Amino acid sequence: MTTSSPGGRDRRPGERGDLLDPRCPTRRLLDRIGTKWTSMAVKVLAEEAPGELRFAELRRRIPGISQKMLSVTLRSLVRDGLVARRVEPVVPPAVHYRLTELGLSLEGPLRALRVWAETHMAEIDHSNRLADESSPDQRVDRMR
Amino acid sequence: MTTSSPGGRDRRPGERGDLLDPRCPTRRLLDRIGTKWTSMAVKVLAEEAPGELRFAELRRRIPGISQKMLSVTLRSLVRDGLVARRVEPVVPPAVHYRLTELGLSLEGPLRALRVWAETHMAEIDHSNRLADESSPDQRVDRMR
DNA sequence: CGGTATCCTCAATGATACTG
DNA sequence: CAGTATCATTGAGGATACCG
């Protein structure tokens, strides 16, 4: 998602002057969870609750995520107060992450979305397939 | 959101070969609703249900959306089978949009997310404010 | 171990102009 | 009215290398 403005304006929560909805909570939330790895990180942490997971463990449980993106994602979640970060001051640093209460409270809505997705993505795929077979010609001469 | 690959791979529902989860339904759904205007369009249409809305009406009810993005968003929703498009063959064309049953079924989960957002975004903002005041210095010398 | 620093690519979105 | 066609910008995310 894209909260900030590619070609428009958009402000921090406090600024005003926007012509369009400036701080619509829903859009802001979707900009966060719509970010490629956030919801997966929350899910993984939620399944582990109330335990904690270390950086490397999280990475193992989120197939395909890069070290950079896990770092970025976690930093964002911590900043938002959805995840708590605990550093154990041992030799090779051990950092633990866990959902805060706020983060945990997001799991319900997120799970509902997951259930919907698992239940209905096949229908969406079917609809797309129908569109693909019944229009490629029109598309060719009106698009491209 | 970004379904397709900025720097990686990603395939249509049918292709395989991905190292990471290829067709995780949840990610695919988030890639759709995470797109800047989709959830707002669904919401507006849901509030109108079971009525229909015309292109221009939709545009009026979604402040800030451009003609192009409304068009793109609606095309995508129709293709996914979440929205039905009805063209009245009159002189200046009149096109009506309404949620399908599938689209309507997504409203529940989406509303739950909206409620969560409206209920908790203030906490997130607060958490961000805390982060801003307690670290700007560290950030300055480790980021930037 | 847990990150951070760079560099690079590409899809999402905006702005603008044109059309059946 | 309801789009489509272009063009430009931006930021998410990947690859890679280095660090306390």
Global pTM reads 0.85
Read off the CATH number of the domain in which B62 is found: 1.10.10.10
What confidence tens digit (pLDDT) does each residue in B48-75 have? Answer: 988 999 999 999 999 999 999 999 999 9
8 A C-beta contact, residue A14 and residue A79: no
- Whether B78 is in a domain gets the answer yes
Chains A, B: CB contacts within 8 A come to 147
Q: In chain B, which residue's Cα lies nearest the Cα of A9?
A: B64
Write out which nucleotides of chain D lie closer than 7 A to a protein Cβ.
Answer: 1-6, 8-17, 20
Domain count, chain B: 1
State the pLDDT at residue A15: 35
State the pLDDT at residue B73: 98
Residue whose C-alpha is closest to residue A120's, from A39, A128, B19: A128
Boundaries of domain holding B110: 34-143
Task: Provide the chain B residues 89-118 that lie in CB contact (below 8 A) with chain A.
Answer: 102, 105-106, 108-110, 112-118
Q: Which amino acid is at A112?
A: A
CA contacts within 13 A on the Cβ side of A86? 11
- Whether B44 is in a domain gets the answer yes
- Whether B124 is in a domain gets the answer yes
User: How sure is the predictor about B21, in pLDDT bands with cuts at 50, 70 and 90?
Assistant: low
- Whether A29 is in a domain gets the answer no
- Whether B26 is in a domain gets the answer no
- Whether A50 is in a domain gets the answer yes
- Whether A20 is in a domain gets the answer no
State the pLDDT at residue B1: 52
State the pLDDT at residue B5: 43
Q: Which amino acid is at B128?
A: N
| Protein side of the strand D interface (CB < 7 A) | A 1-7, 35-37, 64-69, 72, 92-93, 142-144; B 1-2, 5-8, 54-57, 67-68, 71, 74-75, 85, 92-95
Residue contact B26–A8, C-beta within 8 A: no
- Whether A28 is in a domain gets the answer no
Residue contact A112–B114, C-beta within 8 A: no
> What phi and psi, each to the nearest 5 degrees, are found at residue B53?
-130, 145
Q: Is the pLDDT of residue A51 over 80?
A: yes
